[in-house]
Structure 1
Amino acid sequence: MYREFIVPSDQEIIEQLGEWPEVEEESGARALALRGSKGESVLFSYDTLGRSVRVRWRNAEGEQVLDLFRESATRMTVYADNVSRRIILDFDMGECGGRMEISILPMVAIKDHLIFT
């Protein structure tokens, strides 16, 4: 059964994260280039029709720390306040479900939980 991947509007993303999602020419996915407080970068891309996300994290020296791809996304939420900025993703894969939290500020960190439901 197909489930929709619900994402915030571009306007909400820029208001919360300070970045406008760009369209990737090859895939049509939307991408956000985000910077951490210590010079690290996170390229986050999402494809609403494919229900997929990709997270590429590079440290301040430009070395890749993480390249993560996941399908079956159902919801994306963006959040910001005076001290933090983050993207929260929910997944439903039938037998498994989970949540990924990508923190950009105060420091780059990624929490990922995937469990049997």
Structure 2
Amino acid sequence: MYREFVVPDDQEILETIGEWPGTEEESGARHLTLQGEENESITFSYDALARSVRVRWKNRSGEEIIDVFREGATCMKVHSDKSTTHISLDFHMGECSGRMEIRLFPSFAIKDHLLFT
């Protein structure tokens, strides 16, 4: 069964995260590159039609420390308040469902759970 991947519009992402998503030429996927403390960066890309996301986290030396690609995304939300800014993603893939939380402020952190339902 096909499920739609619901994503916030670009304006909501800009207002919440402070960055306007770019578009990858070849695939048409949207992407954000965010700078953290001490020259760390997270590149987050998402493709609403393919229902996929990719998160790449590089440390201050430019080494990739996390590279996660996941399909089956159903919902993306962006949140910000005085103490934190993050992206949350829900996934449903057959017998599995899960959630990924990407904290962008005050420091980078990623929590990812994918479990049998």
Q: TM-score range with shorter-chain normalisation?
A: over 0.9
Note the aligned Cα RMSD (angstroms).
Answer: 0.7
Alignment-mate amino acid for residue 91 of structure 2 = F
Q: Distance in 2 between matches of 1:37 and 1:84?
A: 14
Are 2:17 and 1:17 equivalent residues in the alignment?
yes
What secondary structure, in the 3-state scheme, does the structure 2 residue paired with 1:16 have?
A: helix
- Ranges in structure 2 where 5+ consecutive residues have no aligned partner: none
Q: Secondary structure at the match of 1:38?
A: helix
Is 1:88 paired with 2:88?
A: yes
| Mapped contact 1:38–1:107 kept (Cα < 8 A) | no
List, as ranges, runs of 4+ consecutive aligned residues in structure 1 with deviation greater than 4 Å: none
1:5 aligns with 5
Q: How big is the shift at 1:37?
A: 2.6
Q: Deviation at 1:42?
A: 0.3
**1:59 and 1:102, CA in 2 relative to 1: closer, same or farther beyond 3 A?**
same
How far did 1:93 drift?
Answer: 0.4
% identical equivalent positions: 63
How many residues are treated as equivalent by the alignment? 117
Q: Which residue does the alignment assign to 1:59?
A: 59
Larger CA deviation: 78-87 vs 96-105: 78-87
2-structure distance, mates of 1:98, 1:76 = 12
| Cα distance in structure 2, aligned partners of 1:40 and 1:59 | 5
CA distance in 1, matches of 2:25, 2:71: 20
Residue 38 of structure 1: how far off its partner (Å) = 3.0
Gaps of 5+ in 1: none
TM superposition score normalised by structure 2: 0.97
Three-state SS of the structure 2 residue aligned to 1:60 is coil
Q: Secondary structure at the match of 1:4?
A: coil
Equivalents in 2 of 1:75, 1:2: separation in Å?
A: 13
The CA distance in 2 between the partners of 1:59 and 1:116, in whole Å, is 32
Q: Is 1:107 aligned to 2:107, yes or no?
A: yes
